[in-house]
Structure 1
Amino acid sequence: MSLENLLMFAGALVVLFLTPGPGIAAMIARTLDAGPWHAAMYGLGILTGDIFWFTLAVTGLAAVADQLGAFWLVAKLIGAGYLGYMAFKAFWSAYTGARPKPVFPSGSKRGWAATYVAGVAMPLSNPKPIVFYLTLVPAFVPIEAITAWSYAAMVAIMIVLAIPAAAVYIIGAHKARDWMQTPAVRKGTDIVTGLVMTAIAVILLLR
């Protein structure tokens, strides 16, 4: 696997990790409710779930590598459709101001273990990560080139990028509690999310 492939994979992950979604919203809520360290534990759980989906996607894609042409077409259509749905939800949230049901009830003081488990459950119950990995991995990385070493390198890239991405939101929420809760900021975030998801869907269809 070339360095260019790894860099393209890293670029795709930056978009995945920084684009607001249910996991990031929950981390921000956990920061506001229980502090940054609980939010970091929740983020660690999310990363664990993401690595699980990534591993499942890589092993599954390797099993169908010979038929990847037809599979990739189907995966692109499913991925673009789901990203379009997420974009619609983000734009609708910006228009109506509707907020998703919080992962943690207000005032929840769950312990470290419960917070971590809740973080793991987020990606495991959310189709976004598996759709991303099933569509982004074959788009940027030749499946036949994924070895044990390149898999380890890709997981390392996930960890290295996930930590600062989560820190941006956790530290920002901790330092600007009131500002992060304002309707104008939430509306702007939803609009940016919708635009990014739409752009990724178009890129997937055109590649």
Structure 2
Amino acid sequence: MSLENLLLFAGALLILFVTPGPGIAAMIARTLDAGPWHAAMYGVGILTGDIFWFTLAVTGLAAIADQLGAFWLAAKLVGVAYLSWMAFRAFWSAWTGARPKPVFKAGSKTSWAATYIAGVAMPLSNPKPIAFYLTLVPAFIPLEAITLPTYLLMVAIMALLAVPTAGAYIGGAHKARDWMTRPAVRRGADIVTGCVMTAIALVLLVAR
């Protein structure tokens, strides 16, 4: 594979990662709810889901992706359920004026695992990465030219681009976290967060 192809892949990935979408919105909400490290774990889950779709395209399984309807539906329902729960907690916090207690004890293995799984479910149920990896990547990248070393290099490029872009969003949200602890600001932010999470959940639910 040529350097031009790799640069094209990296450029397309950068646009995919930087453009705000459901994953970024949920990651920011996770930062405000549980802190930057949990948001980072959520981001690792998103990257895992992206690698899954990329691998599916590279291995030539894109042709049978339409047969994965049950799997996609299950992933979609997990993502929708998680976003709906986040929306409910945000609205409840705005209504009561008090931050909700965490579902799991902070830092527990259960909490980290739940955050990671929810992150994985996001790209598995989000049409944006699905369309990118299963249609756009094969259209611009000669998949037959991807060898194992090239595949590993492309996965490394994905990780190298995902870390700083996710870090920028998480860092910005974390810096604003203290300001957002003010009661009036927090209540308004909770309402906005709840509305955004509800909208994203509805989009994922009706997406084909």
Q: Establish whether TM, by shorter chain, passes 0.5.
A: yes
The residue number in structure 2 matching 1:142 is: 142
1:50-89 paired onto structure 2 within 5 Å: 50-60=50-60
Structure 2 residue runs of 5 or longer lacking an equivalent are 65-82, 91-99, 105-110, 197-208
Larger CA deviation: 31-40 vs 108-117: 108-117
From the superposition, tell whether residues 2 and 103 of structure 1 become closer, same or farther in structure 2 (CA, over 3 Å). Answer: farther
Shift of 1:61: 6.2
Structure 2 CA distance for aligned equivalents of residues 118 and 138 of structure 1: 27
Asked whether the equivalents of residues 27 and 42 of structure 1 are also in contact (C-alpha less than 8 Å), the reply is yes
Asked whether the equivalents of residues 34 and 109 of structure 1 are also in contact (C-alpha less than 8 Å), the reply is no
1:126-165 paired onto structure 2 within 5 Å: 126-165=126-165
1:5-84 paired onto structure 2 within 5 Å: 5-60=5-60
Structure 2 residue identity aligned to 1:43: G
Asked whether the equivalents of residues 5 and 141 of structure 1 are also in contact (C-alpha less than 8 Å), the reply is yes
The residue number in structure 2 matching 1:171 is: 171
Asked whether the equivalents of residues 12 and 136 of structure 1 are also in contact (C-alpha less than 8 Å), the reply is no
Structure 2 residue identity aligned to 1:159: A
Percentage identity across paired residues of the two chains? 72
Asked whether the equivalents of residues 58 and 143 of structure 1 are also in contact (C-alpha less than 8 Å), the reply is yes
Cα RMSD of the aligned pairs, angstroms, is: 2.7
Residues 20-57 of structure 1, C-alpha deviations (whole Å, 9 max, x = no match) = 11110000000011110010000001111110111011
Structure 1 CA distance for aligned equivalents of residues 130 and 62 of structure 2: 15
Structure 2 residue identity aligned to 1:56: L
Structure 1 CA distance for aligned equivalents of residues 61 and 118 of structure 2: 28
Structure 1 CA distance for aligned equivalents of residues 130 and 58 of structure 2: 10
The alignment covers a number of residue pairs equal to: 150
Length-normalised TM-score, structure 2: 0.64
Shift of 1:101: 4.5
Residues 135-165 of structure 1, C-alpha deviations (whole Å, 9 max, x = no match) = 2212331122111111111111001111111
Structure 2 residue identity aligned to 1:150: T
- 3-state DSSP of counterpart to 1:20: coil
Asked whether the equivalents of residues 28 and 169 of structure 1 are also in contact (C-alpha less than 8 Å), the reply is yes
Structure 2 residue identity aligned to 1:24: I
Structure 2 residue identity aligned to 1:112: W
From the superposition, tell whether residues 22 and 102 of structure 1 become closer, same or farther in structure 2 (CA, over 3 Å). Answer: farther
Structure 1 residue runs of 5 or longer lacking an equivalent are 65-99, 191-207
